[in-house]
Structure 1
């Protein structure tokens, strides 16, 4: 009897990569030989697996997960993006300590089916091509397996296709240790990187993609090993059995694996930091949009293909429609999340908002706040005066009739505390069209704000065209004084920035991340000069003035450093490396996983309340001020110690009690 591999729609109708050009007859099922006996068949088989890779992209939702088979249902994804969970953005919701399930042994079985049976077709391939395809399969298995390990810790290592007719107890496999799981991933990636093609391909795994994944995951394992000892897991059965946590003595083993992979990719790979524009802010922004970028190692695109219908169909994501303000830019419901002042202040060159005498610094133009910012920051966020498709951003919270007070009067109290906000001295509005009127003589003396005229009435709008309203809701209401620019595509057709209409790829691996992985691993291994070399390269491209790793506590992010030192002692230089990772990879969905692996999530995100950048126009001075204020909705981020390991899904435990013990604190 022929071996049949049934391919269901849920397997095939997912995000495909380079395989959309395959010309295959639509069928409901294929023989094993049709898939594994030709390179085109193998690529078709792999294509379905690529769509299930655990990539936290535009469609990923912190509450609902990857949803690879429900792309049409992801229009709300920017509302639930992971960067809001790590407080990189201010929006809703906040921390999901329980995480979302990714129990993908169905896909592991699919990969194992190939790995276990491919040898039967070895004579149909050259040895090189056979090993390339086998290496790609092991890359896919390592990637899918890692999505489970980084959530649950130790899980069963399944490398052979299980017989569903076998004895029940045989099928009820036990969990392996977290150490063994990361070693299994390492062995798969080692084989993959030694055998996969060296030809760069952003759409499919290559030798370099395997090295990039090894660089990242082995750093995860190393820091989990080094820092888990500082979490109070003692007495928890899963911890005591090695299912949650890795012994600290193994840390350097994994740091070395990460270091070696990064070094090999950097020194031998065909990649380089993106430096295509002399304007470094433009350069940093275009880096993620340029599909020809030599920095990009691997990305996820949004071209879908259905094996049951030869006509490929397209479905985009919603990033532009749900991160730009409506109606002047977005033609959908408008922006959903915004960078906080706390985030802005972590970048080099963010200006002091307070003058030497303690009063708010005065500005002739609200756009002047950008003058000293590092270019990387200006390429990541939109500020007052920035332009998108001929529309100038205007974020103003309101007007002050006068402001002779010290800046710190707004630091810790409510946003309506006296005396500066009483007796109608501060004017706010929930309506973008609310006016403040002037006489013709008064209007003639105003130079720094655009005074409009309507039938002989002179006026300015109380709030900016793009915020901020008094509502505490985050939809289409710039809560923080800036918008997200990262990944925004200025080349979209004007008037058609709607849901499912964005097609810029999500960059899953880029050389900049590998530099940061390498710097962190090198520092942890004691190679401080080498770590500094790669931090310098990152900061030079970012347009920073101070390029070296700093040992001055004044140069690290105060909140993160203070909170981390309540967990364990940390060198200022290492904190600086972590901070640089935050700045470079801000908004690219690394932050949550980083805080977890460093074992500081429950401290850095302990009653964390982001501050906001509030711009006001002062009427009696014809000047602008920026105030550091409390976020209007008083949103609070709180991670707790259960976040480090998700609970093994109860449904899986019901089927297999040998998955117990449950993870710590669950």
Structure 2
């Protein structure tokens, strides 16, 4: 088994073991205790487990309020980072960026301090040289990961490469911010050194970082830096932080970072150690099942998984809440807050149709072909009629069907009813209003069924029903009923997977002109073939970016793609996100469905401000650091 992944709950078990054995139950760790701890292989595992548990993995317990956001947070309400992008909206909340969102500062420096203490003690540990190098490699991987979490949020930050000792002078511990370039170079150097020290595989299959995880993280980090440099002119910043180089990179630096992406990804590709899971499906239905299954249980996809975060034990903040927050309202099983992740219409239309490969094909809702009218129902428009609402989506990319619950589709052996209203036989519309009408002896309901437990769309009751016309399935467990309690989900999360590495490579090649163009085109089409596409597309930036959107959807990549490529302002200037209203037309006999494009209800226009490209530095009154622009 060549893949390395780790489980939060394995880590907790180790901590419990340590408590029982008395390793850390007396005094805080100092040098002597550190030597005792690391003289025992179990002690090394204990300390390393604690470091892994602090990694800023943007996983299934990551929300705009931060990492490891589990049950009982009244300010979160299932507000995922995807809801700040064009991927989705929240079923109830309509706000946009807040200063406290996407933050990670004090926990970052706690992790860095813990890593530096380990690095300091490594030369004195009584183990073989090979083991010592492996421990150092893991420490550098974790520190590089930590600084990546910081630099993409704050720009240049204080670089602390050694354990600090408090001598009574607090000023001596203060470290000024380094430039953003220095910060990127520091963490990339840590990851490079980690890749040279870590094994390709741990002998016992332990869930720990490997050479490949370090190289893959290098490809992610360097692509981020390269994009900031290349597109620096799109988001000019001013002020002290900008003048000092604490935010922003020079355009001239872009190709050097792209080259790091290319080299690190190429080494993984050429190694033959990884491959796409189920790369050659026989049809779109098989592809959708494979892809859905891979995210429902990443442990069946160990050919693709490079670094997995595990959620092994339900409850007590050891599981996560995706199934209770995001499953369709019909399947809430008594849980009071379902249906919160609502994919947008514009996201859904990124998925190609198989009969028009390589092109964006809007959903066909009107006979005149107009797709830009979001003003709601118009009696003078000739809407296309569908006997079955699911028919509108039947020919979409397999990844759509593995990610999104469409109106009329089946999920957990139930038809998911998503209906916004009906048109009465006299032509009067009833939309987003709870109502009922009897026609020819049969009762029809505006939301498709009589009560809130029987439908999943548009009713504002409890904030539990989709307001875009789409619900969510990626990562959710189709084989289990929702357990109505906090932290009951145990689906693991692929933090780094092979498909991302391939897309990193393709983007770096097409953006820089460096690397192997033929290989970049091949890996792009390999990803498409896994989704049952049989027609290849050329290597263009447009094609690569579209593949990123549909392949990495809801994996917390879209937010950072908009940040690093400096396109957030373009996407969110007086922006309204969009819904698709399925409406039952009772003028026909038997009734048919029509679909109406709408702005997302109860959501104002949203604007991305340039300062949002960086988060505000906390605590500058005490730490004396230069604040980021416009905060």
Please say whether Structure 1 and Structure 2 have the same fold, judged by a TM-score greater than 0.5. yes
Q: 1:389 pairs with 405, 412, 437, which one?
A: 412
* Cα separation, 2, equivalents of 1:468 and 1:541: 31
Q: Which of 300, 304, 310 pairs up with 1:295? A: 304
Give matches, 1:464-543, under 5 Å.
Answer: 464=448, 465-469=454-458, 471=460, 475-492=463-480, 494=481, 496-526=483-513, 527=515, 528-543=517-532
Query: In 2, distance between residues paired with 1:537 and 1:75?
Result: 43
State the match for 1:61 in structure 2.
63
How do 1:273-422 and structure 2 match up within 5 A?
273-275=276-278, 278=282, 279-290=286-297, 291-293=299-301, 294-303=303-312, 315-333=318-336, 334-349=338-353, 351-356=363-368, 359-401=382-424
> 8 Å contact 1:212–1:261 — kept in the other structure?
yes
Q: Which residue matches 1:663? A: 628
Q: Does 1:228 align with 2:236?
A: no
Whether 1:261 and 2:239 are equivalent positions in the alignment is no
| Counterpart residue number, 1:81 | 80
Residue 582 of structure 2 corresponds to: 615
Give the structure 1 partner of residue 8 of structure 2: 15
Find the aligned partners of 2:443 and 2:316 in 1 and give their Cα distance.
Answer: 50
Of 460, 463, 482, which residue of structure 1 is paired with 2:444? 460
Could you tell me whether the CA contact under 8 Å between 1:299 and 1:506 is conserved in 2? yes
Q: Is the 8 A contact 1:84 1:93 kept in 2?
A: no
Q: SS of the residue aligned with 2:162?
A: coil
Q: In structure 2, what is the Cα distance between the partners aligned to 1:663 and 1:342?
A: 32
The equivalent position to 1:216 in structure 2, one of 203, 217, 220, is: 220
1:63-142 correspondence to structure 2 within 5 Å: 64-66=65-67, 68=68, 71-73=70-72, 77=76, 79-91=78-90, 92-96=93-97, 98=99, 99-103=101-105, 104-121=108-125, 124-142=126-144
Of 189, 198, 201, 1:199 maps to 201
How far apart are the structure 1 equivalents of 2:387 and 2:103? 51
Change (3 A) 1:228 1:95: farther
Question: Does residue 177 of the first structure (1) align with residue 175 of the second (2)?
Answer: no
What residue in structure 2 maps to residue 436 of structure 1?
A: 437
What secondary structure, in the 3-state scheme, does the structure 2 residue paired with 1:164 have?
coil
In the aligned structure 2, how far is the partner of 1:110 from the partner of 1:18?
A: 16
Q: Residues 495 and 199 (structure 1 numbering): CA distance in 2 closer, same or farther, change over 3 Å? A: closer
Answer yes or no: is the 8 Å Cα contact 2:323–2:489 preserved in 1: yes
Which residue of structure 1 aligns with residue 568 of structure 2? 601
Helix, strand or coil: the match of 2:119? Answer: helix
> How far does residue 38 in structure 1 lie from its aligned partner after superposition?
2.6
Please give the alpha-carbon distance, in whole angstroms, between the structure 1 residues aligned to 2:248 and 2:291: 37
313-322 or 588-597: bigger deviation: 313-322
1:433-468 deviations in Å (ceiling 9; x for gaps): x4321234xxxxxxxxxxxxxxxxx22222224243
Deviation at 1:535, TM superposition (A): 1.4
Q: Would you say how many aligned residue pairs link Structure 1 and Structure 2? A: 574
- Report how far residue 592 of structure 1 moved: 1.0
State the Cα distance separating 1:545 from its structure 2 match: 5.1
Out of 420, 426, 429, the position equivalent to 1:426 is 429
Cα distance in 1 for partners of 2:529, 2:462 equals 35
Following TM superposition, by how much is the alpha carbon of 1:77 offset from its aligned partner in structure 2, in angstroms?
A: 5.0
Report what 1:631 is aligned to. Answer: 600
Q: Structure 1: how far apart are the matches of 2:44 and 2:365?
A: 59
Kept after mapping to 2: 8 A contact 1:18/1:203: no
Q: Is residue 348–residue 544 contact of structure 1 (8 Å, CA) maintained in 2?
A: no
Q: Does the 8 Å CA contact 2:339/2:465 hold for their aligned counterparts?
A: yes
Tell me whether 616-625 or 507-516 shows the greater mean CA deviation: 616-625
For residues 195-240 of structure 1, the C-alpha deviation after alignment (integer angstroms, 9 at most, x for no partner) is 112116583211111111111011111111111232222x422112
Distance 1:495 1:663, change over 3 A: closer
Unaligned runs of 5+ in 1: 1-13, 306-311, 403-422, 441-457, 551-572
Deviation at 1:73, TM superposition (A): 3.7
State which drifts further: 585-594 or 235-244.
Answer: 235-244
Q: Is the contact between residue 222 and residue 257 of structure 2 (CA under 8 Å) also seen in structure 1?
A: yes
Task: Report the RMSD for the aligned CA atoms in angstroms.
Answer: 2.5
Q: Is the 8 A contact 1:320 1:488 kept in 2?
A: yes
What's the secondary structure of 2:160's corresponding residue? coil
**Alignment counterpart, residue 644 of structure 1, candidates 604, 607, 613:** 613
Q: CA deviation at 1:366?
A: 1.0
Deviation at 1:126, TM superposition (A): 2.2
CA drift at 1:101: 2.8
Distance 1:249 1:16 in 2: 45
Change (3 A) 1:50 1:78: farther
TM-score relative to the length of structure 2: 0.85
Provide the TM-score with structure 1 as the length reference. 0.81
CA drift at 1:384: 2.5
Please give the alpha-carbon distance, in whole angstroms, between the structure 2 residues aligned to 1:313 and 1:474: 26
Could you say if the C-alpha distance between residues 109 and 541 of structure 1 is closer, same or farther in structure 2, counting changes exceeding 3 Å? same
- Residues 1:242 and 2:241 are matched in the alignment: no
**Mapped contact 2:141–2:194 kept (Cα < 8 A):** yes
Q: CA deviation at 1:313?
A: 6.3
| Matched-pair contact (CA < 8 Å) for 1:209–1:297 | yes
Greater alpha carbon shift after TM alignment, 356-365 vs 585-594: 356-365
Distance 1:642 1:518 in 2: 29
Q: 1:60 Cα shift?
A: 1.6
C-alpha contact (below 8 Å) 1:80/1:93 kept by paired residues: no
CA contact (8 A) 2:71 2:321 kept: no
Stretches of structure 2 that go unaligned for 5 or more consecutive residues are 1-6, 354-360, 371-381, 449-453
